[in-house]
Amino acid sequence: MPEISSLASAGWIYPSSVGNMTAHIPSAVYEFLPEVVVALLAAVTMLSGIVLQQGRNIGALRTEWQADRLHLENRLGTIQQQTCFDALTGLRNRNMFEAKVSTLLRGTAPFALIYIDLDGLKAVNDRLGHIAGDRLIVSATKAIRSALRRRGDRDGLFRRGTAADEFFVILEGMRLAVAIQLAELILTALRSVSLTASIGVVEWDGQTIQSGEQIELAAEQQMQRAKRDGRNCVRWNAEVIEHSAPPTLPRGQTLDAVPVEIEPERTERNAA
């Protein structure tokens, strides 16, 4: 059988097996072997084409998936930017501020809060328009950041609201005396760009029960004292914000629901 002999010579089968194969294959089958070989080769070629095409399809799907993933990441980044950051200044917004304070209050490390209210912004908006007011806010943001030399302190700068001329600075692990000095540096930086602010400073001791709203209110009270004292100054409460938990809690009541009171605002004027 010449076809089988050629397969043996090509190395596809062992020559010693040719005799056995030809002995067991009826002679009528010999004439179909070329067609069978051609059909097998065609099948292999077709399968190779299918595999190649599937590989291309997988590559296209991978490229499309990567593009969709990049689009989704960009979209999520945009949503995060809109949700967590102020569009005008690029600062973290009130949502981020509240989340940060809530996290710190669950710990035990003390921190200070600086409440900054720009003086005279409403008059600028009324006289020159909100575009001029926005430029003033951006200028104030740059000045405040310049006074916060440590990156950690700059990360603690927040804008109170999208229509607000107020800012918060959270100073982790910082006590009141150092926070007051930093508030004075912020005021000096604002003056360097022809701006002023009324600034209040408070401290949390890291031990007592307190809510974010209460700490913000305490800082706002000091800021309002600065306004009453003529603006363009820093005021603070020399008393650490501290409250004690009741000895026992009513059944079903959690610590979050414990009523506490802010220390009354000190009436005597502190030195700026």
Read off the pLDDT of residues 190-211 as tens digits, 9 standing for 90 and up.
999 999 999 999 999 877 777 8
**Rounded (10°) CA dihedral 57, 62, 64, 69:** 160
Amino acid 48: pLDDT: 83
Strand residues in the chain grouped as ranges (E): 111-118, 157-159, 166-172, 197-204, 233-236
Amino acid 183: pLDDT: 96
| Higher local confidence (pLDDT), 37 or 218 | 218
| Higher local confidence (pLDDT), 20 or 270 | 20
Residue 122 CA to residue 115 CA, distance in Å, equals: 18
Amino acid 245: pLDDT: 32
Query: Three-class SS of residue 249?
Result: coil
Amino acid 148: pLDDT: 93
Is 250 within 8 Å of 136 (Cβ atoms)?
no
Residue 214 CA to residue 220 CA, distance in Å, equals: 10
Residue 212 CA to residue 24 CA, distance in Å, equals: 93
Q: Residue 14 has what DSSP assignment?
A: -
pLDDT value at 26 more than 60:
no
Amino acid 191: pLDDT: 96
Structure confidence by residue, pLDDT tens digits, 149-186: 888 888 999 999 877 799 999 999 998 999 999 999 99
Query: What's at 153, amino acid-wise?
Result: D
